[in-house]
A and B are shown apart, each in its own frame.
Chain A
Amino acid sequence: MHRISLYCILPPHMLKEIATKGSEAQKQMAVRNLVAASRMRGQRQDARELLSLSRTEVSDAIIRTVYDAKQGSSLPGAPARNEGDPPVSDQTVNEAYDFSGATYELFKNIYSRNSIDGNGMRLDSTVHYQKGYDNAFWNGQQMVYGDGDEDLPVDQQLFNRFTKAIDVVGHELTHGVTQFEANLTYYQQSGALNESFSDVFGALVKQHHRQQLAVDADWIIGEGLFTSNVNGKGIRSMKAPGTAYNDPVLGKDPQPDHMTDYVNTSNDNGGVHINSGIPNYAFFVTATEIGGYAWEKAGLVWYRTLKDKLKFDSNFQQCAYLTWQVAGEQFGSGSVEQQAVKKGWSAVGIDATQSGSTPTPSNGCLPSLLQKVGIR
């Protein structure tokens, strides 16, 4: 993230002028600061409208570009496939392209959301990032994928390329959606929620792509990422957190499935990939309790909660209450769907009918703004 600059102390009306009339770089910085301030006030609609200021046209159709970093670190890299181009010989490029499309389709066709920002944002991916990069991430503007352990001898390889799993692509893109909606702080419980929402919609992308009923899905995140050298089904299990892998080198899946086993740690930004097992399991129970396709009702409740209700510092209890509230609004108080939400959170030790304590306010506006733009 950029350091605070002159743009931070300019009044909003001046920032808006820059956002419409400045150079590309000036527009981006002005919009970024206006959006951060709007999000801090919980004004998501303002944030979306501000984002459209700097665009001369909004696309109602998907726009994808896949880039090739050629094992380097410079982003985005060389263009490898543009929107509408036929498949190329590089399977990794085609996977990033196709699975971005599947993610776009879920959000557009099911939740009427036009791309990550709801405003036709381009979906850019970079593949072949670095050598031996066994990971994938969202950098705030695009997805980045490594090739796994391609640089090691076959018997030492633990990971395949990270575009191999459709839910990984969905997971990363959902981080983008979260960024434009609740913008959950990537730390401790709010960070674990951020991770969980990415697993939830990553799983729904996979199930929607395969047209699978909730009861028939495997609920495994990252299936296919491990090589045959690993004793494991995938990276995480939403159906049975803590059972995805148990390997002599990677260790055992550390995820809890209940609040009594919540992991307090300073690693991994306070255990965001670990404690996500708890809200993941709550969603799994909710979806299978309702039955049918998980994206239709359970997914809708979770999407509306992310889009309209959650705040950047929401915790598990608050999220549970908000999903229960949304289910009541959407399907009726006491409905089968609302009861399923309650049952899902009860399974992880949370009473979803309780609103939870008010989050501790940040120490003033400036520290909060600094946090929002990535400086602590």
Chain B
Amino acid sequence: MHIEFERSGGFMGITASCSFDLSELQDTDAEQLKSMIEQLKFPELPENIPGSKQMPDQFTYTIFIQSEEWSHRIVTGDASAPPEMQPLIETLNSISRSRRR
């Protein structure tokens, strides 16, 4: 499974992104992430979960996931992402930031 994560906006206004395969993660982390994606039924989520352009300094997240059977991209924001999506966003954010250096 291939994942691309982009975070833009925020107080600084810069864009940060990462791209990786699940196989690059440790087994437990990969399993946890895969489980999150399955529980969310990611390919069935709306493509644009209304990110509000009116909310200053919030992040906009673009998540693209490609498995063997499907691929899907969603765009969402800090305040608009439904609560059940927050763990996935936080996990991807953590992976992205740990790969900065």
Considering only residues 8-60 of chain B, those with a C-beta below 8 Å from chain A are 8-15, 50, 52-59
Interface centre among B8, B13, B53, B78 (most CB of A within 10 A): B13
Contact B55 A139 (CB under 8 A): yes
Minimum CB–CB distance from B62 to chain A (whole Å) comes to 11
Residues of chain B with a CB closer than 8 A to A172's CB: 56-57
Answer whether A175 and B57 are a contact pair too, CB < 8 Å, given A152-B97, A168-B11, A272-B13.
yes
Considering only residues 175-216 of chain A, those with a C-beta below 8 Å from chain B are 175, 185-187, 194-195, 198
Minimum CB–CB distance from A174 to chain B (whole Å) comes to 9
Closest to B93 in A: A132
A130 adjacent to chain B (CB < 8 Å)? yes
A136 adjacent to chain B (CB < 8 Å)? yes
Q: Give which listed residue, B56, B83, B100, contacts A73 with CB less than 8 A.
A: B83
Considering only residues 144-177 of chain A, those with a C-beta below 8 Å from chain B are 149, 151-152, 155-156, 158, 162, 168, 171-172, 175
**B-binding segment of A56-64, A105-113, A263-271, A344-352:** A263-271
Answer whether A137 and B8 are a contact pair too, CB < 8 Å, given A1-B54, A376-B53.
no
Q: Give which listed residue, B53, B55, B93, B101, contacts A137 with CB less than 8 A.
A: B55
**Distance, CA A134 to CA B90, complexed state (A):** 11
A25 adjacent to chain B (CB < 8 Å)? no
Contact A235 B12 (CB under 8 A): yes
Secondary structure class of chain A's binding surface, majority of residues:
loop
Closest to A235 in B: B12
Q: Give which listed residue, B11, B14, B54, B97, contacts A374 with CB less than 8 A.
A: B54
Residues of chain B with a CB closer than 8 A to A130's CB: 86, 90
Residues of chain A with a CB closer than 8 A to B90's CB: 130-132
**Distance, CA A236 to CA B43, complexed state (A):** 39
**Distance, CA A185 to CA B83, complexed state (A):** 27
**Distance, CA A162 to CA B10, complexed state (A):** 12
**Distance, CA A249 to CA B16, complexed state (A):** 10
Residues of chain A with a CB closer than 8 A to B9's CB: 267-269, 273
A7 adjacent to chain B (CB < 8 Å)? no
Minimum CB–CB distance from B8 to chain A (whole Å) comes to 5
**Distance, CA A280 to CA B90, complexed state (A):** 33
Contact A136 B11 (CB under 8 A): yes
Residues of chain A with a CB closer than 8 A to B55's CB: 137-140, 186
**Distance, CA A299 to CA B73, complexed state (A):** 44
Residues of chain A with a CB closer than 8 A to B86's CB: 73, 130
Answer whether A186 and B94 are a contact pair too, CB < 8 Å, given A137-B78, A156-B100, A158-B100.
no
Answer whether A162 and B11 are a contact pair too, CB < 8 Å, given A135-B59, A374-B52.
yes
A10 adjacent to chain B (CB < 8 Å)? no
Contact A137 B58 (CB under 8 A): yes
Answer whether A187 and B11 are a contact pair too, CB < 8 Å, given A152-B97, A158-B100, A249-B101.
no
**Distance, CA A233 to CA B90, complexed state (A):** 28
Q: Give which listed residue, A134, A195, A222, A250, contacts B56 with CB less than 8 A.
A: A195
Q: Give which listed residue, B53, B83, B101, contacts A187 with CB less than 8 A.
A: B53
Minimum CB–CB distance from A20 to chain B (whole Å) comes to 27
B79 adjacent to chain A (CB < 8 Å)? yes
**Distance, CA A235 to CA B10, complexed state (A):** 11
Q: B-facing mask of A259-290, CB < 8 A → 1, else 0?
A: 00000000111011110000000000000000
Interface centre among B15, B53, B57, B90 (most CB of A within 10 A): B57
Minimum CB–CB distance from A126 to chain B (whole Å) comes to 12
27 contacts between A and B (CB under 8 A): A74-B83, A130-B86, A132-B90, A132-B93, A132-B97, A135-B10, A135-B11, A138-B57, A139-B55, A149-B97, A151-B94, A152-B97, A155-B101, A158-B100, A171-B57, A185-B53, A186-B54, A186-B55, A186-B56, A194-B56, A195-B13, A251-B14, A267-B9, A268-B15, A271-B13, A273-B13, A376-B53
Known: A136-B11, A171-B57. 6 other contacts (CB 8 A): A73-B83, A135-B11, A137-B58, A139-B78, A152-B98, A194-B56
